[in-house]
Amino acid sequence: MKIISLIIGIVMVALPSFGLVAGPVFAALGAVLFLGLAAAMVVGRTPLRVSHFDWPVWLLVLAFGLWTSLTICSQCNLQLALEHSIQASLIFIGALLLLELARRAPIERLLTGEQLLRLVTIGLVIGVTILLVDLAMGFPLRKLFAMDNHPTQYNRGIAYVSLMILPALAFASQRGRWLDLAILVIAISLALVFGSNTTAVVAWVLAIATAVIAFYHPRLVRIALQSLVAVFFITAPWLIQAITSLRSRFDGIVKGSGIHRLEIWNYMAARIHDHPWRGWGLGTARELQVTEAERLNYLYVGSGGIYPHNQLLQLWVETGIVGVLLFLIFIQLVIWRIGKMAEAYRPFAFATLVMALSTALVNYEITTDSWWDCLAITSLLYIVWQRMGDGLARPVRFIFSNRSE
């Protein structure tokens, strides 16, 4: 068990450190964590019974895989769509298996909750130090790995680490680990200030507001999220097209990359109406061409396709309304389950969901493996720390209030 404990400890330090520097490494580290937990179950002789699986979520993944495989549009790149369908299924299955192991593995025999928190804290400090040193020295690390010399290259890592830090903040607050909590807050704040990630800053603002409201009115937040998510998912094609048609009014207010996003969303929303029920096929958004009439109205978008930079829009374009409804059911299930969490973790979990949704609406693809590994690892931390911290039995203590439940 000592070797397994060492491996998992190294991963927990590496996630917020090397993961911040290079976000895609979350996929590889997630695989190592999976193997470590699997080994812990074997050594600890802990059975993984299929009957204990989270079957509602597994059935949704199965339904999504079948839908994307059976409804591939004849007008799209059939091979590409099929490959992405298989890729998405494998990513989702891997993430779910990681969570199944998190629920069953004897993690308490490997690390205590406080040790796990300290490892994550140390990892974040290392990651932020690397970012600041790299920035001060003119990005020698980016040059070493043939990456662009700009702080925005840290965007993905900052977004991923922001998500996994929220359960750490919840555990630190619930256990009264104020020094760790202060270090986490200062470190992630420095990453946000010097990392040039506007999306992450906005996501944090929304997350903090959600956590504060959820602390006092959790039922209100649950109902509001369920309603807003349902309305937005269903009306997204029309709402996004209406908003992006007014993009000229954002000139001078929104930077060029923001206008580029609006242009992409505008023509992607138009493609939804061609195949609203079944979509064009998973992974085929890049193949969709911009019409000449559309291109004349754009400043940044050319004639070639590009991925949507919005996972909900991608769902609509590539999987149609059925794929959107399957994801909507999944998110509604997540919201309902967060409402049943221990009081110490519930506001932070609502905040995590809001941060994840706001990030997904402007970044990454449905088949971005590191994104789903980040979400799975974040969920894993909630599962583990709730189990170790016994959030239901201890008084609730939050950084923004002296209130005790």
Structure pTM?
A: 0.90
The string of pLDDT tens digits covering residues 108-150 is: 888 889 999 999 999 999 999 999 998 888 777 766 654 555 5
pLDDT of residue 145: 53
pLDDT of residue 389: 62
Query: Both ends of the chain: CA-CA distance in Å?
Result: 37
> Which pair of structure tokens corresponds to residue 200?
């992450």
Ranges of residues in the chain with a pLDDT under 50 are 146, 391-405
The string of pLDDT tens digits covering residues 212-241 is: 999 999 999 999 999 999 999 999 999 988
Say how far residue 193 (Cα) sits from the centre of its chain: 21
pLDDT of residue 390: 53
pLDDT of residue 382: 95
Residues with Cβ within 8 Å of residue 107, at least 6 apart in sequence: 8, 37, 40, 384, 387, 388
pLDDT of residue 380: 95
pLDDT of residue 301: 65
Supply the DSSP string of 271-331, one letter for each residue. HHTTSTTT-S-TT-GGGPPPPHHHHTT-SS--SS----S-HHHHHHHHHHHHHHHHHHHHH
